[in-house]
Amino acid sequence: MSTKTNTKWDWEISGKSSWWGNSFKELWLYRHLAIGFVRRDFLLIYQQTVLGPLWVLLQPILTLFTYVLVFGKVVGISTGGLPPVLFYLAGIVLWNLFNDTFLGIASTFRENAQLFSKVYFPRLIVPFARLSGYLLHFSIQFGLLLLVLLYYLIFQSITLPPVSDLVLVPVCIVLTGLLSLGLGLLFSIITAKYRDISYIISMVIRLFMFLTPVIYPVSYVSEKWRWLVELNPLTPLFELFRLALLGEGLITITQFVYSSIFTLAVLFISLLIFNKQSDKLIDII
């Protein structure tokens, strides 16, 4: 005689994958794990270093010194009406957010293969934790930028944009973070399947920086080649970031809409692909 049991499970893990992935409720239940990953990644980056977390500030300072010397003094690239230190530091801080987040998320499967193959949890927790960690780095470096800006306000009497423009600064930060998250998710799948791509990414991202107005304003680029720079969805965000914070930047509403739509489209498509493919990758990584 067979008996029918109606056992109700709190969790049921199956081999099925979905385009839509985990619900927000399930992701929220793993928030403490995400905090643990943020702490782990922070410690791993600075362990066995003499200066430890001070590198969060030293890295942009040393980069700033190099840019001012090479691109400002030797090459002589104009920064418009902005002091070179402020111009380059604003670009460096925002670029670090994009670069570090993208590269960190793109290596999600390669660096967590052992963990993924042994323990179940929503895979999206790791990319979200990395984005949170690098936003923490960004907030520290952004604080440095504000201190330098305060120095120029007091001792150099520079003119700032209207206070109302400052609301656009977090918009630029959020869109830059979302674009790096979207691209990172997409390339985490690609590099898990094709390891060769991971060696190419770091080189391509360095070249990509030269198509982004980090070391030059868009107004410095000749009309003949400006379209190439403006195709880059990061270009309007960098120009708007400087315009809202420092008062100088070249951007139109059309360019901002293009960048916003591009970012949201990449994020949406990448989330779908990540949700569908992430569980299947466990067998090949």
CA distance 178 to 30: 21
237 or 52, which is more confident? 237
Q: pLDDT tens digit string along 231-271? A: 999 999 999 999 999 999 999 999 999 999 999 999 999 99
Confidence of residue 162 (pLDDT cuts 50, 70, 90): confident
Per-residue DSSP letters for 5-56?
Answer: --PPPS----S---SS-S-HHHHHHTHHHHHHHHHHHHHHHHTT-SSGGGHH
The reported pLDDT for the residue numbered 173 is 97
Cβ-based neighbours of 193, under 8 Å, separated by 6 or more = 281, 284
Average pLDDT over residues 98-115: 89
Is the model's pLDDT at 16 over the cut of 80?
no
The number of residues in the chain equals 285
Is the model's pLDDT at 21 over the cut of 80?
no
Is the model's pLDDT at 200 over the cut of 80?
yes
The reported pLDDT for the residue numbered 7 is 63
The reported pLDDT for the residue numbered 11 is 62
pTM of the predicted protein model:
0.89
The reported pLDDT for the residue numbered 12 is 63
Are the C-beta atoms of residues 218 and 226 closer than 8 Å to each other? yes
Average pLDDT over residues 67-87: 92
CA distance 93 to 132: 16
Give the tokens for residue 226.
Answer: 């400006």
The reported pLDDT for the residue numbered 146 is 96
Is the model's pLDDT at 3 over the cut of 70?
no
The reported pLDDT for the residue numbered 14 is 64
94 or 51, which is more confident? 94
Is the model's pLDDT at 26 over the cut of 50?
yes
- Residue ranges of the alpha helices (H) in 51-195? 55-67, 84-106, 108-111, 113-118, 125-155, 168-193
**Share above pLDDT 90 across residues of the chain, in percent, rounded to a whole number:** 54
The reported pLDDT for the residue numbered 120 is 80
Rg (CA), the chain: 22
Confidence of residue 1 (pLDDT cuts 50, 70, 90): very low
